[in-house]
Amino acid sequence: MKTMYTRLFRSLIIVLAVIGLLAAGKPDKPRLPEPKYEVRVEKDLMVPMRDGVNMATDIYFPVGLDRAPVVLSRTPYGKSRAIGGSDGKALAGQGYIFIVQDVRGRFKSGGEFYPFLYDGDDGRDMIAWIQQQPWFDGKLGTTGASYLGATQWFQAPDADIT
């Protein structure tokens, strides 16, 4: 008799736990702050590297700012994919210029793709190009994980950035 009540009690606890988990549902998706700026996008701008190879680049500008900080991301996965569009609009909407570039030999960028081989020089060339632009306010950040994170490490040594 005691065993039957123990089983019944355990079953009741399990049922209540399942009901509690189902009632809790999924956590809310984090919300981005409302955009402060409209966004203008320049797509497929070809930026030349030191050896003349052109890199396909998209730039997301916050409308109404003459100068702004820049966030740079360089990717072999396609600049129009996850790190591009929605991230670019979100960052530009908050007052940052977001630049995403296909690395050498990928998608619309020129040259041949050899993983990591040119990422240091190309990244430093891209930083030098950004520093010459009238809309650059002197503040530069980079973003990305995995290969995109590696491009940040490769471009950092000897880059003239603060």
Looking at the domain assignment, is residue 76 inside a domain? Answer: yes
Q: Which of 120, 123, 116 is nearest to 57 (CA)?
A: 123
Question: Which domain covers residue 52, as residue numbers?
Answer: 39-155
Looking at the domain assignment, is residue 53 inside a domain? Answer: yes
Looking at the domain assignment, is residue 86 inside a domain? Answer: yes
| pLDDT score at 47 | 98
Looking at the domain assignment, is residue 84 inside a domain? Answer: yes
Question: How many domains would you assign to the chain?
Answer: 1
Looking at the domain assignment, is residue 66 inside a domain? Answer: yes
Q: Which of 8, 110, 94 is nearest to 50 (CA)?
A: 110
Looking at the domain assignment, is residue 138 inside a domain? Answer: yes
Looking at the domain assignment, is residue 2 inside a domain? Answer: no
Beta bridge partners of 101: 57, 74
Q: Which CATH number goes with the domain that contains 118?
A: 3.40.50.1820
Whole-structure pTM over 0.85, yes or no?
no
The model's pLDDT over 109-154, given as tens digits with 9 standing for 90+, comes to 999 999 988 999 999 999 999 999 999 999 999 888 887 777 877 7
Looking at residue 106, what DSSP letter applies?
S
The model's pLDDT over 55-67, given as tens digits with 9 standing for 90+, comes to 999 999 999 999 9
The model's pLDDT over 20-48, given as tens digits with 9 standing for 90+, comes to 767 776 666 667 789 899 999 999 999 99
Looking at the domain assignment, is residue 109 inside a domain? Answer: yes
* pLDDT higher than threshold 60 for residue 162: no
Backbone angles phi, psi at 17, to 5 degrees: -65, -45
Confidence of residue 82 (pLDDT cuts 50, 70, 90): low
d(CA 14, CA 100): 50
Classify the C-alpha dihedral 34-38-44-47 as positive or negative. Answer: negative
Average pLDDT of the residues in 82-95: 83
Across 50-76, b (16+ Cβ under 10 Å) vs e yields: eeebebbbbbbbbeebeebebbbbbbb
